[in-house]
Amino acid sequence: MGTHHYNLSEQFEFTGKAKTLSIVGIVIGILTIAYGLFFNHEHAHAMHERTYANLLLMGYYFACVCMSATFFLAVQFVAQAGWSASILRVPQAMAKNLPLAAIILIAIITAGLFTHNLYHHWADPALLDKNSDSYDKLIDGKSAFLNIPFFLTRQFLFLGSYSIFSYFVTKWSYNEDLSGGLESYRKSFKFSCVFLVIYGFTTPVFAFDTIMSLEAHWFSTMFGWYNFASMWVSTLAIIAIVIILLKKAGYMSWVNNSHLHNLGQFIFGFSIFWTYVWFAQFLLIYYANMSEETVYFYKRFNSYEFWFYLNLVLNFLSPLLLLMDRDNKRSINILLTVSIIVVCGHWVDYYQMIMPGVFEFGPKDGSGFGILEIGIAAGFVGLFTYTTLSALSKKPLVAKNHPFLQESLHHQL
Amino acid sequence: MSNIKYILGSFGDPDEMLHGIEKLQENNIAIYDVYTPMPIHGIEAKLGVKRSRLDIAAFFFGITGTITMLTGVYLATAVDWPVNIGGKTHFALPDFIPITFELTILFCAFGLVGSYYASTHLFPGRAPRVMDLRATDDRFIIAIDAKQNTEHDKIDELLKGAGALEVKHNERKYLSYE
């Protein structure tokens, strides 16, 4: 329990390799999108659909990570958590990207709807026309909810309300740096309580809309929580990665292995939670013999078998085996490795949620894993890194007037 | 030959008690144990207490539950009385994952409660072993084995010097509520 002397006005400098690499990523992403959309392909339609599916995947991933970073902040405020006070600037920097991520996601969805009919399972007017050959009674029944104007309104409402919260909660934290006192903390606490209620009720609907409606004939009430678990655990892993890389670059000397232990527990616990929901979604259908719902798993077992099982290996087995031990959670390199596995794993998770909805028969229909997947993922990773790190570099790395800061600096498990 | 078994230094403040621990350690006086009414950060490292092996025990209790349930359910549904349910195989693993999970938790929880009682010598009906009753209330107690450390006056002096409010020489190890 010695006396610590940390430089609490330390600021991150966004230069050098990190900046170059993230810009290279963005350029690769833009080139890949241009290649996918404007290049003269043999199967142009399938290629365009595949580009849009990938854009939706990464746009959704990006928005979800920024949303869940906001959720992380809200949870810390509502729980009045002390341990995290000194690392809150990292999720804050991620939450600051939310308005941008929301605009990108809505742009992708709108462009997908109006140029290639990304949501072709329900967004086609012929499906609702009783005189048409392709009239679909099920979709007609859902059309009060699943129609383009209401769909886009919901996207605006959900992402807009999360963005407003992320704006205020970061702004108050910066105000706290200047003025001190408890005013900002109290406001953040109250606002967080309201936000958690809104977030809890709307994220499942957001997931139903954005991802589950790709296969509009099928539904599962577990799907919303399944997506929530995905976005939350991938965000925790990304927070851990950013903190570890900052620490390796010589910043944030106050982060000790007890903070890593807490993040590791979070990643471990919510990976198990993810598996629980993932499995429950399957078990309800399997156990109750709901043959009309098996179509979802039929596609995944037949055309996407590799991805289906890879998903389980990356997101369940690897955190389970690698993070169960206490010493592993406290080791900076093991935690970094597992976090990277989990982040890649949730890309695979989203991949096998989205692709079978667009390409039912897998590679035979035109899906696959190649330049488009890698390039677009690189683009969004670059964009995320660039925006997060530039937001991070604008303010000190620690909220020096946070009321629980001393507890966090002396955090010990 | 004195009958003193344990010397107890009773402190009113945790920092003074930590100071007392340092003083005793500087003079190579072995500390039997320390009793505090609240957890104190870093005290395990200071006293050199080994980390609890409860997590390893938990793992083995858990795995026992897993194996028990899987064996039981296999014997019941596939060997002893196979029933065709919805055309599934007799030992349809996904069906039994939730109950296996529950039994893992149950065995783990009961096992840990049992280990806890065994290691603290606590179980219903037994008077708890307490060296100083105020350690459960408002005092921080350092206990020193008086038979191994014979320089009683020096120990007294060190404890008082570190801020002990009271130093007791006990002829019994435990006070009990009886």
Give domain status of residue A115, yes or no: yes
Q: Per the domain annotation, does A100 fall within a domain?
A: yes
Residue A16 maps to a domain: no
In a domain, B21, yes or no: yes
Are A353 and A60 spatial neighbours (Cβ–Cβ below 8 Å)?
A: no
In a domain, B31, yes or no: yes
Domain housing A251: 22-397
Tokens linked to A155? 């996207």
HSE-up (13 A, CA, CB side) for residue A79: 11
Per-residue pLDDT, A243: 95
Across residues A168-192, what is the average pLDDT? 91
Instruction: Report how many Cβ contacts below 8 Å link chain A to chain B.
Output: 18
Question: Does the residue A210 lie in any domain?
Answer: yes
Q: Which amino acid makes up residue A332?
A: I
Of the three residues B78, B97, B120, the one that is the final residue of a domain is B120
User: Is the residue at A367 inside a domain?
Assistant: yes
* Residue of A228, A231, A245, A237 lying closest to A329 (CA atoms): A237
Q: How confident is the model at residue A200 (pLDDT cuts 50, 70, 90)?
A: very high
In contact, A267 and A324? CB cutoff 8 Å = no
Contact status of B42 with chain A (Cβ, < 8 Å): yes
Of A1, A289, A326, the CB nearest to B42: A1
B86–A1 CB contact, under 8 Å: no
* Average pLDDT of the residues in A214-222: 91
Do B112 and B146 lie in a common domain?
no
Q: Decide if pLDDT at A1 tops 70.
A: no
Residue at B1 is within a domain:
no
3-class DSSP assignment, residue B142: strand
Parallel/antiparallel/unpaired status of strands B33-35 and B140-145: antiparallel
User: Is residue A12 a part of any domain in this protein?
Assistant: no
pLDDT in tens, A376-413: 999 999 999 999 999 999 999 998 889 999 899 988 87
Q: Mean pLDDT across the stretch A147-157?
A: 94
Position B100 scores a pLDDT of: 94
Same domain assignment for residues B116 and B134: no
Query: Closest residue of A to B44, CA-based?
Result: A413
Task: Please give the mean pLDDT across all residues of chain A.
Answer: 92
Q: Is B63 on the interface with A (CB under 8 A)?
A: no
Domain count, chain B: 2
Give the residue from A3, A287, A290, A409 with the most B CB atoms within 10 Å of its CB, the best one to mutate. Answer: A287
Does A1 sit within 8 Å of B94, measured CB to CB? Answer: no
Which of B83, B101, B120 delimits the end of a domain?
B120
Q: CB of B95 within 8 Å of any CB in chain A? A: yes
Confidence of residue A4 (pLDDT cuts 50, 70, 90): low
B135 part of a folded domain = yes
Say yes or no: B36 and B87 in one domain: no
| Sequence-separated (6 or more) residues with CB below 8 Å from residue A157 | none
Residues within 8 A of A (CB atoms), B 98-157 only: 98
In a shared domain, residues B14 and B28: yes
Distance from CA of A368 to the nearest CA of B (A): 29
Closest by CA to A77, choosing from A194, A177, A174, is A194
Task: Return the sign of the alpha-carbon dihedral for residues B17, B19, B20, B26.
Answer: positive
The reported pTM is 0.89
Judged by CB atoms closer than 8 Å, whether chains meet at A282 and B94 is answered as yes
Torsion sign, CA atoms A389, A393, A398, A400: negative
- CB contact under 8 Å between A286 and B41, yes or no, is no
Question: Rounded to whole angstroms, how far apart are CA atoms A88 and A405?
Answer: 10
Q: Is A246 part of any domain?
A: yes
B116 and B58 in a common domain: yes
Task: Give yes or no: residues B110 and B59 share one domain.
Answer: yes
Distances (CA, A) of A21 to A14, A15, A378, A397: 12, 10, 10, 22
A8 confidence band (pLDDT: 50, 70, 90):
confident
**Residue A76 CB neighbours (<10 A):** 20
Domain boundary residue, one of B78, B95, B120: B120
**Contact call for residues A304 and A355 (beta carbons, < 8 A):** yes
Whether B65 and B108 share a structural domain: yes
Facing B41 at nearest CB: one of A279, A326, A412: A412
Q: For chain A, how many structural domains are there in total?
A: 1
Question: Does residue B109 lie within any of the structural domains?
Answer: yes
Which tens digit of pLDDT belongs to each residue from A173-184? 999 988 888 999
B170: enclosing H helix or E strand: strand B166-170
pLDDT at B1: 53
CB contact (8 A) between residue A286 and residue B98: no
Domain span at B91: 54-120
Q: Is residue A407 part of a domain?
A: no
B153 within some domain? yes
Which CATH number fits the domain that encloses residue B11?
3.30.70
Nearest CA in chain A to B86: A289
Q: Does residue B176 belong to any structural domain of this protein? A: no
- B12 and B31: one domain? yes
Q: Give the pLDDT score at A124.
A: 84
Nearest chain B residue to A2 by CA distance is: B42
pLDDT-based confidence at B10, cuts 50/70/90? very high
B32, part of any domain: yes
